[in-house]
Structure 1
Amino acid sequence: MEQVILVDNEDQQIGAMEKMEAHRAGLLHRAFSVFIFNKKGDMLLQQRATQKYHSGGLWTNACCSHPRPGEETFSAAQRRLQEEMGFSTSLEKAFDFTYKVKLDNNLSEHELDHVFVGEYEGVITPDVAEVRDYCFKSVESILESMELQPHKYTAWFQIAFPRVVEWVNINAGQKVAV
C-alpha cells in the first residue's frame, strides 16, 4: 500500500498513512507539483488518465504526486517526472503552498505542496496509465482557457499556476505573458 507523509503546518513530519485513507480523512500531507516550460516559455500540460483515483481527465501541470516515507521531496519529484512523463531534466524549487479542497469520490486534498520548475525540449513518453494526453501551451492560452472552462483543470493547478508564472518572471529571467 502506498503511503503519504503526514505533516504539520510547518511541514514537519508527524506520521505516515495509507494514501487513500489520508485523502478520505482530509489530513494534511506532503506533496509536490512539477511545472515544465520549453525554451519559448510554453508550459507542458498533461491531461490526467481518466481512471485516476481523483480528477481523472482534467488538465494539470507536468506531474504531481507525494514523496514516500523516507524519500526527499526533490528526489521524489525527479523520480515521478521520469515515471509519469518519461523524461528527466533539472528542477528548481520555486515555492510551497498549502491548500484544502473537496474532490470527487468523497475525497479531499489537504496538501502542503512543494512546487518545482524546470525546462525541457526533448522527447516525451508518458505512462498511459497516468497520462491521457499532453501538450505545450502558451501561458496566455492557458489563462484564457482557465477563465472560460475552469472545470477542465485540477484544483491545485488553478491555485499554483498564477504563482508559478509570477515566480518564473521574477526568478528565471524568462518573461511569460500573464
Structure 2
Amino acid sequence: MINEELVVLVDREGNAIGTAPKAQVHGPETPLHLAFSCYVFDEHGRVLVSRRALHKITWPGVWTNSCCGHPLPGEPVHAAVIRRLAFELGLQVERVDLLLPDFSYRAVMENGTVEHEICPVYRAVVSVDARPNPDEVAEVKWLPWGSFAEGVLSGAMPISPWAREQIPLLVALGPDPLAWPVADEDRLPPVARPLAR
C-alpha cells in the first residue's frame, strides 16, 4: 500500500499543529500549512520558470516560479526543496539558499479553491537543463531575470498569485539574483527552523 503524502499544518505563529493528507487539504477552507517556493537560476542569472501541469488541483496550467512543494512531516525544508527539484525538474543540487524566510500568502481560485501557506522562498543555481516530470510540470523556459521580473511587475506576464507576491520582494534584494544575500535560518517560522521539528 502506498503511503499517503501528508502536509504539516501550522498556526498563525508558525508552529506545527498537526498533519493532513495533501490530497484532501486544498479546498474552500484550506488550512494554513507549510510549503516552499524555489527559483532556479543558471550561471548567467536566467531564471527557470515552469508551467504547472494541467491536472493540478491548484492553478493548473499557470506559469509560476521554478518549483513549489510541501515538506513532509519531520523533513527539513531545504531537504524538501532538493527532493522536489529532483522529482519535478530532474535537477540534482547539493544546496539551496534561503531568500525569504517568512513569506506567507493566501490566494483563492475562481472556483473557490484556496491555497494558504507559510512558504519560505529559496534559490538554487544549476549548470544543466531541466528534465520536467510531466506529472508535475507542463513545460519550462529560461528567461533573463530582469525581463521576467519586469513582465510580472507590469502585469504583462501572467503568473501564479504566490509568485506575483514574491517577485517584488526578490527584486528588492538587488538586480543580480546570483548576488542576493542568503537569509538567516533563525528568521524562519518555528515549524521550518532546523531541529525545530
TM beyond 0.5: yes
**Matched positions, count:** 173
Alignment partner of 1:93 out of 93, 98, 123: 98
Match of 1:127 in 2: 133
Match of 2:39 in 1: 35
Hey, what's the Cα distance between the residues in 1 that align with 2:79 and 2:8? 15
Asked if 1:47 is matched to 2:76, the reply is no
Question: Which structure 1 residue ranges, 5 or more long, are not aligned?
Answer: none
Asked if 1:77 is matched to 2:64, the reply is no
Hey, what's the Cα distance between the residues in 2 that align with 1:8 and 1:167? 28
Question: Which structure 2 residue ranges, 5 or more long, are not aligned?
Answer: 181-197
Hey, what's the Cα distance between the residues in 1 that align with 2:160 and 2:110? 11
Hey, what's the Cα distance between the residues in 1 that align with 2:46 and 2:13? 33
| Equivalent position amino acid for 2:61 in 1 | G
Q: Deviations along 1:87-124, whole A, 9 cap, x unmatched?
A: 12221111221111112443111100011112112131
1:110-149 correspondence runs (5 A): 110-146=116-152, 147-149=154-156
Return the TM-score normalized by structure 2: 0.80
Q: How far apart are 1:17 and its partner, in Å?
A: 1.2
Return the TM-score normalized by structure 1: 0.87
Higher helix content, 1 or 2: 1
Q: Percent identity between the aligned chains?
A: 31
Please give the root-mean-square deviation of Cα atoms over the aligned residues, in Å: 2.0
| Equivalent position amino acid for 1:5 in 2 | V
Q: Deviations along 1:46-89, whole A, 9 cap, x unmatched?
A: 11111111111111111001111121111111100100000122
Over 3 Å counting, the alpha-carbon distance change for 1:101 and 1:70 in structure 2 is same
Contact 1:99 1:111 in 2 (8 A): yes
Alignment partner of 2:24 out of 18, 21, 26: 21
